Amino acid sequence: MLIYVLQSLAQILAGGTSLASTEQIDFNHLGNRREESSIPTLNLYVYDIRESRQLQHSGRKVDRRNPRNLQSANVGWNPNWFDVSMLLTAWDRTALGEHYLMSEALSLLLRHRSLEEQFLAPELRRYGNLSMSVALEPPIEVGSLWSALNVPLRPALYLTVTVPIDSQHTPVPRVWERIISVDNFLDKQGDAAVITKKVAIAGLVKHEITGLALSEVEVIIAGTDKSTRSNKEGLFFFDNLSTGNYVLVLDYPGYSSQNINVLVENEGYSFKEILLRPE
């Protein structure tokens, strides 16, 4: 979600100021900026993320299907809301050029007051307008912030956008239940008893940088003949495992292989979100 918020802000700033394109907006650490750059630039740097005090986690939604068949119990969490704080600074050949660009950005952002849904990236349009504060006192003391950045203090705007962080854009089937009906020979009424076995290990494989799901990633349980591949949503699962420690070996062309330790306890399940790094 952070990527999409920065993209949305960049498009708004490029479209409403004298900047010619979003290529003139830099997201890198301020200390990494090249002083010899001759074109006007806005630097938008995320320096703090913390859970919003106004909007809190609103719980989870569970969709359970017919328990007599092999079906999934989809667990979808409503998003957590976080306050994402950013520094917006202007860079140009002259101080007057920087002040002019900063004034343009301030005037533009004050007119918005919030990030309207119509200006947001498509991935953020399910939640309405996003709250945004401009030029308020940052959550970290200003002097300490710039000292931590190891950059000389300079004029800046302090922006805070309240962002929904949805770990599961669509409900992820975390738990799969296999229902087996067996005759209860001890019951003279002939009623059926139900034995439930839960999947021992489930997981989600994603690209480390983009956060996008990776499909067809081979996942092997070391020391066994069990293997599977992630589906189009990046999900994989193993069932019929005993409790204990396991090692998952993930291999995918173009990405660094990973070994993941997993502990399964008390006939429950373990869910792992795994990030693969491009080589």
Residue 17: which CATH number? 3.30.2000
pLDDT(104) > 80: yes
Residues 118 and 41 occupy one common structural domain: yes
Q: Count Cα atoms within 13 angstroms, Cβ side, for 49.
A: 11
pLDDT at 180 over 80: no
Indicate the number of domains in the chain.
2
Q: Helices 95-112 and 2-16 meet at what angle, rounded to 10?
A: 110
Claim to verify: residue 59 and residue 100 sit in the same structural domain: yes
Tell me: do 123 and 253 sit in the same domain: no
pLDDT in tens, 28-68: 888 877 665 678 999 999 999 988 877 655 444 444 444 44
Q: What does pTM read for this prediction?
A: 0.54
Reported as a pLDDT band with limits 50, 70 and 90, residue 268 is low
Q: Is residue 269 part of a domain?
A: yes
190-203 mean pLDDT: 57
178 domain residue, yes or no: no
**pLDDT attached to residue 118:** 80
Does the pLDDT of residue 4 top 90, yes or no? no
Give the DSSP H/E element, type plus range, for residue 255: none
Query: Per the domain annotation, does 180 fall within a domain?
Result: no
Q: What is the domain extent for residue 51?
A: 2-64+77-165
Contact 196, 179 (CB under 8 A): yes
